[in-house]
Chain A
Amino acid sequence: MSLNRRNFDALIIGAGGAGLNAAIQLANADLRVAVVSKVFPTRSHTVAAQGGVNAALANVLPDNWHWHMFDTVKGSDYLGDQDAIEFMCREAIPTVYELEHNGVPFSRLDNGKIYQRPFGGQSQNFGGDQAARTCAAADRTGHAILHTLYQQNLRAKTHFFDEFFALDLVRDAEGVVCGALVLEIETGEPLLIEAKCTLLATGGCGQVFRTTSNAHINTGDGMAMALRAGVPLMDMEFYQFHPTGIAGKGMLITEGVRGEGGYLLNGRGERFMERYAPKAKDLASRDVVARSIVTEVKEGRGAGPKGDHVLLKLDHLGESVIAKRLPGIRESARIFAGVDPVVEPIPVFPTAHYVMGGIPTDRFGRVVMPVGSGEEAMPGLYAAGECACASVHGANRLGGNSLLDILVFGRLAGKNIIDYVKDNPFHRDIDPSSLDYAVGRLKRWDQHGKGPSVHETREKLTRCMEDHAGVFRTEEIMAEGLEKMKEIRAEMPDVRLTDHSRVFNTARIEALELENLLDVGMALAASALYRQESRGAHSRPDYPKRDDVNWLKHTLYFLEGDRLDYKPVRTKPLTVESFPPKERVY
């Protein structure tokens, strides 16, 4: 089969904050960089981030990166790697200034500096008073950042492959990654993009759950590509449920609402967070707040006719604050919940939101593989953003640290790829047989005949994940979930498409996405079942305590044989003292 080919110095898969911030670095350094995205870049899900990005600028209250680091380590329930966390918290400051210089329309303080709001899990002086660390553009920070990054890439003349779907990584005989096979959605034709270095920046996988704040496109494509290339996924059991999704629908209502002074009420009108987190209350860490809400509802103190949600009250902030600081969520609440938060509370319930785990990388953005008792970088492959796991979020991510992670590590990966390409200046010979697998995956969907549809299989999968890998997990529930996932996997070869056309065949794209969701869902279900402790977002009533003796370690899931392995947490920071595990109270 003759394939169309293009070649570049660097290939970036994904055009969200991580991919675009990496691309700017590369294009500014005059490298030929290709950005492949299955949607037009500004449709990437970074656009939906609301509340802001953390950086210890100290524009509102005293702050420094070291306090930010402490909060992030504590928030991670001590599972985060402290070298990567120190790096991220230090780099946050120049990263945010660079964004501002690039044009991001941040909200402003009277003195002209960037506006910062309090967010959950933030403190001054290592666990003291609330900090205000989240830099915001009203409640549309992700939108403001993503559009700015796209604009800067237009200026830098990045090569965009808009509406191209990445199928699989391509490697040479020695296993060096030398590009990817992609599918042009408009024509349905495959295209081989050769590159000296490839960055996976494909974002999250929230679509494995039925109710999620994630977009239709968040199907874990890069994670599944990594799995199929033999790379394990790390810490996939740690999936964050955002406390405040619109009840029954899942659209996000930013933590910034509580940062600005909003609070939660149960069906009896009680501020129940006072009972669960006496000090931080509504601004406790996300895992804590999500569990508290689910507990209130389970114990019969929910709101509404079915008692199946709680209420987020913010009318006391007044219309002018809401109009100025939270205009986007007012719009969302009106459209999707039918309430105007200026006069009545928003019905909310936790919604699947963010995967802390992902493709294991070191703090340079290189994808790492376990070798012997240590690990080695996989040549030619980097990962950044939600699809990657550096690991800066450990078992629970703090609000405002996600935009930060994608921007810091996207930027860093870009800078490091410049060096990598200098050291590896030539394209490598691609073994044609290495394309067979990816081409076969594509061809498989041309099969005719009767079988379950992609749509019904996807519904089965997302329902299974919702029922068996939610906020509270027991052995029994998860074991049943894993069995169901295995059944779905066994049925996959029978699934058929009825549409075998080429031009803009979205059914075929959804079939390929379903395969990705299945691989990533298996990683999540298997990793969750075997972690016998409660840590961060992984909450097990049958093992209610954190167990640092046995479980202060990262999980690795390999696709082959659904194998699990573990590796130690890097507790040693770059320059400061380590933060040893302590009981985590808010």
Chain B
Amino acid sequence: MKFRVYRYDPESGQKPHMQDYDIETFRGMMLRDALKAIKAQDETFAFRHSCGEGVCGSDGVNVNGTNKLACVTPIADLKEPVEVRPFPGRPVIRDLVVDMTQFYEQYKAIEPWLKRKEPTPEQEILQSPADRDKLDGLYECIMCGCCSTFCPSFWWNPEKFLGPQALLSAWRFLADSRDQAKDERLDFLEGPYKLFRCHSIMNCVEVCPKGLNPTKAIGHIKELMLKKAV
């Protein structure tokens, strides 16, 4: 199977270019397997990967124009030649490895930790199954970055717009019955950029490898803000 892969090595003095590889395939082969096969042929090729089962979130790449997690992408579903590029909109360090600093900074900005005002009980903080269900579809985020780096609003304003991943995480804490900092979380999200640059383009929903829906989460935050304002 033919692969065209983005290559860039800052030490080589060469401009970024696409390089072709021919890879022998097997039944059930995933894109990560193909990238590993390329690496076995040509050890100068760099990409991130680890768990190989879609939970660590290391191997997000752009494939045939869309963001995917390589280890859960069967090559049988891909059109040949398979074009593999780094995430769009992020500075490239080398080959498929991009600098994700901005993405992580936006995650940190929403203060993604449970906040409690009351003293903690001796046992667990109680939570009803119905309240716990509200976290499903939120806590599973693996921070691969497929969504935020495929979001036009994030491309245009990566410093000011939090992006779908951070906003999904913001809603994960707002939706948690145990969290006691709702007002401060909502206040932080005020203003024209952090949240409101989302124009419901829904690229995030389309590319999330875990089937999560940041657009919906953003909608919930907006509703809550409206309620608070009224």
Report the Cα distance A510→B116, complex, angstroms: 43
Report the Cα distance A504→B49, complex, angstroms: 13
Question: Would you give the shortest CB distance from A35 to chain B, in whole angstroms?
Answer: 14
Q: Say yes or no: A102-B114 contact (C-beta < 8 A), given A108-B127, A112-B126.
A: yes
Q: Does B18 contact A (CB under 8 A)?
A: no
User: A103, A111, A113, A505: which contacts B178 (Cβ < 8 A)?
Assistant: A103
Q: Which residue of A lies closest to B101 (CB)?
A: A162
Main secondary structure of the interface of B (DSSP, over half): loop
Residues of B within 8 A of A109 (CB): 129
Question: Would you give the shortest CB distance from A19 to chain B, in whole angstroms?
Answer: 15
Report yes or no: A155 in contact with B113, Cβ–Cβ below 8 A: yes
Q: Does A39 contact B (CB under 8 A)?
A: yes
Most chain A CB neighbours (cut-off 10 Å) among B53, B100, B123, B127: B53
Report yes or no: A42 in contact with B143, Cβ–Cβ below 8 A: yes
Q: Say yes or no: A48-B120 contact (C-beta < 8 A), given A112-B128, A502-B11, A503-B10.
A: no
User: A100, A147, A453, A510: which contacts B139 (Cβ < 8 A)?
Assistant: A147
Q: Say yes or no: A335-B178 contact (C-beta < 8 A), given A114-B124, A155-B113, A501-B9.
A: no
Q: Which residue of A lies closest to B71 (CB)?
A: A335
Q: Does A292 contact B (CB under 8 A)?
A: no
Q: Does B54 contact A (CB under 8 A)?
A: yes
Q: Say yes or no: A503-B113 contact (C-beta < 8 A), given A43-B57, A331-B54.
A: no
Report the Cα distance A249→B71, complex, angstroms: 13
User: B58, B94, B122: which contacts A504 (Cβ < 8 A)?
Assistant: B94
Report yes or no: B108 in contact with A154, Cβ–Cβ below 8 A: yes
Residues of A within 8 A of B176 (CB): 103, 105
User: B44, B47, B132: which contacts A499 (Cβ < 8 A)?
Assistant: B44
User: B72, B104, B142: which contacts A335 (Cβ < 8 A)?
Assistant: B72
Q: Does B187 contact A (CB under 8 A)?
A: no
Q: Does A140 contact B (CB under 8 A)?
A: yes
Report the Cα distance A48→B55, complex, angstroms: 6
Within 8 A of A (CB), among B60-97: 72, 74, 93-95, 97
Given pairs A48-B51, A455-B43, A503-B93, 8 additional interface contacts (CB within 8 A)? A47-B56, A110-B129, A113-B126, A144-B139, A154-B108, A216-B52, A499-B43, A501-B11
Q: Which 10 A-B pairs have the closest CB atoms?
A: A103-B114, A112-B126, A507-B43, A151-B113, A504-B94, A43-B56, A215-B51, A215-B50, A499-B44, A108-B132
B residues apposed to A, CB below 8 Å = 9-12, 28, 39-40, 43-44, 46-58, 72, 74, 93-95, 97, 100, 104, 108, 111-114, 116, 120, 122-129, 131-132, 135, 139-140, 142-143, 176, 178
A sample of 20 inter-chain contacts (CB < 8 A) reads: A43-B51, A45-B56, A97-B124, A101-B114, A101-B120, A102-B113, A105-B132, A105-B135, A108-B128, A140-B55, A143-B55, A147-B139, A155-B113, A331-B54, A455-B43, A497-B43, A501-B44, A502-B11, A503-B9, A506-B46
